């Protein structure tokens, strides 16, 4: 199998969000991720193996420090329509809402956490980092191919959950201790930005404020938890109950 210079240039361009959006394509690397893509509902446009194109060419199209044995160019799914979003919420899911999560590693890890705890839908605000960012994809460990990530107006999503009679939860430093609360099996769990937490706009739409307590004896501790770790603890508490 040969690979042309133009093909190499095109694949490399997909490391940038504007080209991913222009062509509705993204790149996955690593044998595990590529196999997950092949086994998923996603359509794999092209598959490249190091044995076929050579180590030098794989290095040219790879975003990894050490090129992996396999790389795939994958088509993005069609955007979720307003009607589909309404249908999802009508099914009363337990879903995550991400408010301006900017770090790709955090976003990818949150998808992996959602995968573990059986949370199938993640609503991301439009200013969240792109889930098809190479670092985010690697951090999902394949969960991207099993979970549904929907970029939308998070305020409107909160309104839709409330309109369906569902709770909108959020994590705050002034919230109620999470394990003292009776949590529902459905609803929206909002997690905030790494530096600023949940925005004031979204805070006004939250129906139940939750707090993950610290267990230090003297009260001296970190200012807050990493958003991915906080998501894991919160999802665990919802599933535990």
- Taking the CB of residue 37, how many other CB atoms lie within 10 A of it? 24
Q: To 10 degrees, the CA torsion angle through 130, 134, 135, 139?
A: 90
191-207 per-position pLDDT tens digit: 999 999 999 999 999 99
Beta bridge partners of 41: none
- Taking the CB of residue 121, how many other CB atoms lie within 10 A of it? 20
- What does the pLDDT read at residue 215? 84
133-187 per-position pLDDT tens digit: 999 999 999 999 999 999 999 999 999 999 999 999 999 999 999 999 999 999 9
The single-letter DSSP state of residue 87 is H
* Angle in degrees, 0-180, between the axes of helices 154-163 and 82-90, rounded to the nearest 10: 40
3-class secondary-structure state, position 46: strand
Q: What is the mean pLDDT of residues 101-114?
A: 98
- What does the pLDDT read at residue 24? 98
- What does the pLDDT read at residue 218? 66
Tell me the C-alpha to C-alpha distance, in Å, between residue 165 and each of 111, 158, 207.
Answer: 26, 11, 11
Tokens of 82: 């307003």
Nearest residue to 146 (alpha-carbon basis) of 183, 178, 99, 112? 112
Q: What percent of the chain has pLDDT over 70?
A: 97
Q: Quote the CA–CA distance of 61 and 72 in Å, as a whole number.
A: 10
- What does the pLDDT read at residue 31? 93
The single-letter DSSP state of residue 144 is G
The single-letter DSSP state of residue 61 is H
Q: Which domains are present in the chain?
A: 5-75 (3.30.1330.30), 82-240 (3.40.1280.10)
Q: Quote the CA–CA distance of 146 and 120 in Å, as a whole number.
A: 8
- What does the pLDDT read at residue 222? 65
In angstroms, how far is CA 140 from the centroid of its own chain?
A: 8
| pLDDT of 11 over the 90 cut | yes
- What does the pLDDT read at residue 220? 60
54-74 per-position pLDDT tens digit: 999 999 999 998 889 999 999
């Amino acid at each position: 199998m040969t690979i042309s210079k133009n093909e190499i240039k095109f694949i490399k361009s997909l490391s940038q969000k504007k080209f991913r959006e222009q062509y509705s394509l993204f790149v996955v690397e690593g044998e595990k991720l590529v196999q997950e893509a092949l086994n998923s509902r996603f359509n794999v446009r092209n598959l490249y193996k190091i044995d076929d194109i050579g180590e030098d060419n794989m290095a040219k199209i790879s975003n990894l420090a050490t090129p992996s044995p396999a790389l795939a160019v994958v088509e993005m799914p069609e955007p979720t329509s307003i009607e589909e979003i309404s249908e999802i919420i009508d099914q009363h899911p337990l879903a995550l809402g991400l408010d301006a999560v900017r770090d790709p590693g955090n976003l990818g890890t949150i998808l992996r956490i959602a995968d573990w705890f059986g949370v199938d839908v993640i609503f991301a605000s439009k200013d969240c980092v792109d889930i098809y960012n190479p670092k985010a994809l690697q951090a999902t460990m394949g969960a991207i191919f099993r979970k549904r990530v929907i970029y939308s107006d998070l305020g409107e999503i909160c309104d839709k959950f409330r309109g369906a009679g569902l709770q909108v939860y959020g994590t705050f430093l002034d919230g109620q201790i999470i394990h003292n609360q009776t949590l529902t099996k459905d609803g929206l769990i909002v997690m905030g930005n790494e530096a600023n937490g949940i925005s004031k706009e979204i805070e006004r739409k939250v129906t139940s404020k939750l707090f993950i307590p610290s267990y230090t004896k003297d009260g001296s501790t970190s200012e807050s938890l990493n958003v991915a770790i906080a998501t894991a603890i919160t999802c665990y508490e919802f599933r535990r109950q």
